[in-house]
């Protein structure tokens, strides 16, 4: 079944963020965000395959050395791929901690060790070491370094942040279960409808990540409501796959509309609450400055300048010539 394209300039735009011409914020969704350099790790592992193949034509010592060489490079590429995925998730989030384990760093070390072991020969230890160091440096130049600093964590309680991540992870599991369940219906429109609801829910996730202090006000949205939506989706999918009941479909879509409106309203409420807190802080600061005798300059709103045309440039010159 074809899916109708909807957007800002479509005759019948969608609902929620699509109706306003906005796209949902990019989030680090497990299994959906990949690093652009992630495919390089597979090619490097494939190019190390000669160590694995030639190992069985060597003596016992050569067999072990070649297997260790291939295993070191493969393990290094595995850690590098994990590090790239962690970096992609780090870049996609507005508030994120640095990875707990520098996987790309360890991946580069293992890759260099694997190359050094593969190039080792009696009497050529120096050359093998140089090849290993060169491989580690090339790994660093090709894949870069791991994120070493937290992003957007200033003034955020680490305990609240961990709690928010844990609750958001549970919410992502509920959304993934909804997606898997709706696939059983085989209806592309229903799949797209569930995806739209998931995008609206992730807008609330993104807001909570930025300010984990709002987790108390949204606990039931991330727990009770999402769990109820998951259970309703599972039951509806089982029923609709067998009977294709139009009444059940209409009730389910109405439920998604109500949930989407509720999540969107809660997100707007949190944003407005943060704006109110900012206005209060600014007002308190201005009052303190006024009590200390510091006068804030009254700034007038900037006037928009109209662009000058060629006539505007020529008319004053003609008027000056007439005066002369």
Determine which of 34-48, 93-107, 160-174, 294-308 has the lowest per-residue pLDDT on average: 294-308
pLDDT per residue as tens digits for the range 40-93? 899 999 999 999 888 888 888 889 999 999 999 999 999 999 999 888 877 877
pLDDT at 194 over 60: yes
Would you give the DSSP letter of residue 55? G
Query: Which tens digit of pLDDT belongs to each residue from 278-298?
Result: 555 566 566 666 666 655 555
| Angle (CA) 188 190 195, round 5° | 95
pLDDT band at 213 (very low <50, low <70, confident <90, very high): low
Rounded-to-integer distance, Cα 76 and Cα 107, Å: 4
Counting every residue written for the chain, the total comes to: 324
- Residue whose token pair is 């949930």: 259
Residue 2 — pLDDT band, cuts 50, 70, 90?
A: very low
* pLDDT of residue 4 exceeding 80: no
Could you write out the DSSP letters of every residue in 104-161?
Answer: HHHHHHHHHHHHHHHT--TT-HHHHHHHHHHHHHHHHHHH-----S-BS-TT--HHHH
When pLDDT is averaged across residues 155-163 and rounded to a whole number, the result is: 65
173 versus 4: the higher-pLDDT residue is 173
Q: What is the pLDDT of residue 36?
A: 84
pLDDT at 3: 40
Instruction: Centre a 10 Å sphere on the Cβ of residue 238 and count the other Cβ atoms it contains.
Output: 13
Look up residue 184 and give its two tokens: 């059983």
Q: Give the per-residue pLDDT at 97.
A: 72
Average pLDDT (259-264) is 87
* Mean pLDDT value across residues 121-133: 88
Angle between helices 188-210 and 158-182 (to 10 degrees): 180
Residue bearing the bigger pLDDT, 76 or 96: 76
Tell me the pTM.
0.54
Quote the pLDDT of residue 246: 87
């Amino acid at each position: 079944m074809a899916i109708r394209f909807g957007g800002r300039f479509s005759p019948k735009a969608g609902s929620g963020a699509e109706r306003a011409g906005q796209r949902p914020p990019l989030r680090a969704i497990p299994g959906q965000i990949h690093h652009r350099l992630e495919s390089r790790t597979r090619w490097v592992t494939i190019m190390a395959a000669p160590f694995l193949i030639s190992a069985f034509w060597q003596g016992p010592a050569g067999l072990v050395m070649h297997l260790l060489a291939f295993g070191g490079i493969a393990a290094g590429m595995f850690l590098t791929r994990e590090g790239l995925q962690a970096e992609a998730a780090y870049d996609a989030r507005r508030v994120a901690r640095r990875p707990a384990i520098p996987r790309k760093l360890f991946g580069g070390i293992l890759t260099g060790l694997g190359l050094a072991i593969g190039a080792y020969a009696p009497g050529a230890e120096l050359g093998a070491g140089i090849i290993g160091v060169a491989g580690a440096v090339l790994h660093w130049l090709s894949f870069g370094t791991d994120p070493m600093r937290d992003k957007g964590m200033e003034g955020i309680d680490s305990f609240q942040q961990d709690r928010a991540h844990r609750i958001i992870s549970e919410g992502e599991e509920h959304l993934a279960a909804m997606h898997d369940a709706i696939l059983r219906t085989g209806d592309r429109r229903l799949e797209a409808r569930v995806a739209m609801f998931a995008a609206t829910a992730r807008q609330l996730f993104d807001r909570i990540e930025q300010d984990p202090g709002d987790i108390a006000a949204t606990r039931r949205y991330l727990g009770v409501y999402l769990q109820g939506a998951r259970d309703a989706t599972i039951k509806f999918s089982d029923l609709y796959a067998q009977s294709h009941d139009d009444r059940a479909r209409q009730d389910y879509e109405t439920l998604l509309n109500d949930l989407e409106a509720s999540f969107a309203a809660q997100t707007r409420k949190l944003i407005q609450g943060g704006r109110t807190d900012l206005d209060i802080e600014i007002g308190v600061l201005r009052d303190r400055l006024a009590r200390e005798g510091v006068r804030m300059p009254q700034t007038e709103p900037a006037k928009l300048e109209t662009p000058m045309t060629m006539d505007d440039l020529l008319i004053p010159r003609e008027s000056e010539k007439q005066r002369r």
